[in-house]
Structure 1
Amino acid sequence: MRRRSLRVRGGIAAAACAWVLGLVGGAGAPVAAAQPNILVILADDLGFSDLGAFGGEIATPHLDALAREGLRMTDFHTAATCSPTRAMLLSGTDHHRAGIANMGEMLTPAQRGKPGYDGYLSANVATVAELLRDAGYRTLMSGKWHLGTDPAQDPSRRGFERVFALLQAGHNHFGRERRTAANLGGGARYTEDGRPVEIPADFYSSDYFTSKLIAFLQEDTSRPFFAYLPFSAPHWPLHAPAETIAKYRGRYDAGWEALYRERIRRQRELGLLPKGAAAEELPATLRDWDTLDAEERRRQARKMEIYA
């Protein structure tokens, strides 16, 4: 198979490849007779080079260890935005066939009503959760859905037996819906097993989604599980606990050009960027770090600290 080095932005693409590998065990690997447990972790708007295993400086030791012991995919195809790729990931079909040729929030007048532009996951495709449920798996989900907000489109109706879901594209990670609410369809909506629920006062998305999934897993250990953990982080708004942000204080003060050079160097060392291959240039619209005044540099460095 011809190899291509692709610089792909978006953690969904990497997660989709990890999902395929989790099912097949890698090219040429024998298929186990027993039904293995399957865990799919999906990050939202994560960059290709953000994780340590892909050249990033962000501390992800457990994921890096999994990558060292398994496989890292560098060549793949995905849709360019959120829900279309989620539809591909869960259905194994092209996003047009799955009903989400474009995000429902971004459908143009010319697209509305056309085949494949439903704006939600089509009932004409099966989800991997439906297939694995029928094969005897417990099917669990906790996190961001973004494949339809009507009750008939809830993940509990698409093969997941236990569900805690954020239905929309995004939310305030601490549950404090204020300025962002207008951009999220009137405020974030959460369901548990298809029923609307409120979130607790101490909610933080990544921690809560994880805790919910662990609780689901502990309810029944008699069957193999398919567990889907689609985080909404690091999708905007940029939110993280203060103690986590503090770990990266000052790390990005040198600016994005320095960060770019560091990541390219590490990608070459890891073999992710072939020797002699030209690295992609930074976007022309990105201002040179040195042209920013001190306050703007401080603000941009802070954004990167929170993202990390």
Structure 2
Amino acid sequence: MLVSRALRAFVTVAEELHFGRAAERLHISQPPLSQQIRQFEDAVGAPLFVRTTRSVQLTPAGRLMLERARQLLAEAEAAVHAVQRVARGEAGSLTLGFTHSTVYQVLPQALKAYRERYPDVALDLKQLTSDLLTDGVRSGRIDVALVRLSPSMMGPELEAQVVARDPMVLALPAGHPLAALDRVPAQALQGLPFIGYAPDGARYFHELIESIFAAGRVRPEVIHTSILPTLLALVEAGMGAALAPASVVPVGEGRLVCRPLQGVGETAQAVLSCIWRRDNANPAVPAFAALLPGGVSPVASATPAG
């Protein structure tokens, strides 16, 4: 700041070529300004002005210094502006993680809104499972992530914001007898050939459908486990039925149908959350979270997700 003030004082005097007018522009009196310029010349090691009783002129060294000083002041101003933009979350970088299912529900709108609002933030996108994303956020490798988060995955170091709740529906191959019903009773799942979720690759959905089975007091015949979207391909192939978030079931193509479940209450909801470390100092994190629907929510009390 001291160097910046000295440069600004020098440039002002060089532009005015008059100490009195320069002092007025700088809102200081003339004697301190004259002293500051002399100290600046001493520091530089060369006279920058030729002073007479009638005029002030730049020396050759002064003309060179004026050119360089203007460049330095412009660079300093640009640096301050850039730092302030990063501090406001308007520039810098953001590592954003997301699961496959968010592609159908929240991610496209969130990315569009964020890019329009913060075009100068460099985005590093990572698609992983919720478990891996949560580990990445916890370790600091990922700034913020859209995940299916179960209470067992939460910790005191994490902040979470619920951004969407998606009803779980029964996905069936076209022509399946249960597709004739508007709503499928939970008891109809008993003994039904079923495609489940792999506990090591889709822990959230594995835990969620187990809670749905418990609420409905049913136990389908799980013949295979997989993850989205492979699970839906297996349903389409006629290998069994499956429970999936309504937003990810491609019913418009006619190869799959989905029906709501009856008799399982509020358990049949998939919760999507945005998570980040509480101590993450990247200003782009709250800027991104602020564009998402919902607010800070006690995810520990929400439906298990994974």
TM-score under structure 2 length normalisation: 0.23
Of Structure 1 and Structure 2, the greater helix share is in 2
Of Structure 1 and Structure 2, the greater strand share is in 2
Larger Rg: 2
